[in-house]
Amino acid sequence: MSAVIISGKELATEKRSYIKERVEQLISSKSVQPTLAVILVGDDPASHSYVKAKKKACEEAGIKCIVEQYPTSLTESELVNRIDDFNKDCAIDGILVQLPLPKHINELAIIEKISPEKDVDGFHPINIGRMMINQETFLPCTPYGILEMIKSLKVSITGKHVVVIGRSNIVGKPVGQLFLKEDATITYCHSKTKNMEEITKRADILIVAVGKPNIITANFVKDGAIVIDVGVNRLENGKLCGDVNFQEVKEVASYITPVPGGVGPMTITMLLQNTLQSASKKANKLSKSST
């Protein structure tokens, strides 16, 4: 029996409808317009595509989105100055610098320049630290989206063995921490892992984020496992595919995400959620200060 496909697109549509209602309430009751500032440096086609999708999603949800595009020649100090401007601007609730940046700009230094209170990507070391010790914070969007997808299945996460393939700061490391908070047992696999197939075959939930097309085949997956494919790879024929061999794995998994239409739409949705969270927090502060 083939796996049930987890449609990130459908779940995202549902959640964005709720976010739109919340945004409208915030504007009407608190006179606060949630606003996201996006900085795009260079001419990477994928980055331009992602920013376009984020702007469209913001506008559909009623969130104001300011996109500033700069040439590859922009210096690191010029970028830092622009981030400082947005940090000081009370009208801006979230700041997003689209990655990757040109090689002459230090990405980590730029992420650290964004105010943790406006870091709606959830990448700032302070927010990662808050996440680690279960404090309220902005959660990284892709891991947050993955968790919401699993929760939508109404399956218990408690005690489940979650295996994460990949250890990036953006997906692999934080997604394991989010599932640990939900009382799952976490195992990380990576390029230096020995006997990976033996480990992944024990996973109740397998999350794959390595960036290599179709690398995970059916023999890596336990019968009935939930498989989340984070990879987005473009093949020579121009088609998109994930890190998981979808046609093979869907025959052994119980649930599986497609590529495209799986994790991607949920990543953007959680960006909207984080921006709304920031604007709501600001609105509450304004209400308290006026009383």
How many C-beta atoms surround the C-beta of residue 286 within 10 A? 14
Active site residue 98: yes
Annotated ligand binding at 175? The verdict is no
Residue 88 tokens read as 């000081």
- pLDDT at residue 146, as a whole number: 98
Residue given tokens 């200060």 in the structure block: 289
Annotated ligand binding at 168? The verdict is yes
Of 30, 32, 42, 25, nearest in space to 64 by CA:
32
pLDDT digit string, tens, across residues 9-64 = 999 999 999 999 999 999 999 999 999 999 999 999 989 999 999 999 999 999 99
Q: Do the strands 161-165 and 64-70 form a parallel or antiparallel pair, or are they unpaired? A: unpaired
CA-to-CA distance for 31 and 54, rounded, in angstroms? Answer: 23
- pLDDT at residue 288, as a whole number: 79
pLDDT digit string, tens, across residues 79-125 = 999 999 999 999 999 999 999 999 999 999 999 999 999 999 999 99
DSSP letter at 194 equals: S
Indicate which residue of 93, 119, 121, 229 is catalytic. 121
Annotated ligand binding at 145? The verdict is no
CA-to-CA distance for 71 and 55, rounded, in angstroms? Answer: 19
Whether 69 has a pLDDT exceeding 90, the answer reads yes
Q: Residues near 103 by Cβ (< 8 Å), separated by ≥ 6?
A: none
- pLDDT at residue 291, as a whole number: 60
Phi, psi of 125 (to 5 degrees): -55, -35
- Which domains are present in the chain? 30-116 (3.40.50.10860), 141-263 (3.40.50.720)
Active site residue 93: no
Amino acid at 179: F
DSSP letter at 185 equals: E
Annotated ligand binding at 4? The verdict is no
Indicate which residue of 15, 93, 98, 250 is catalytic. 98
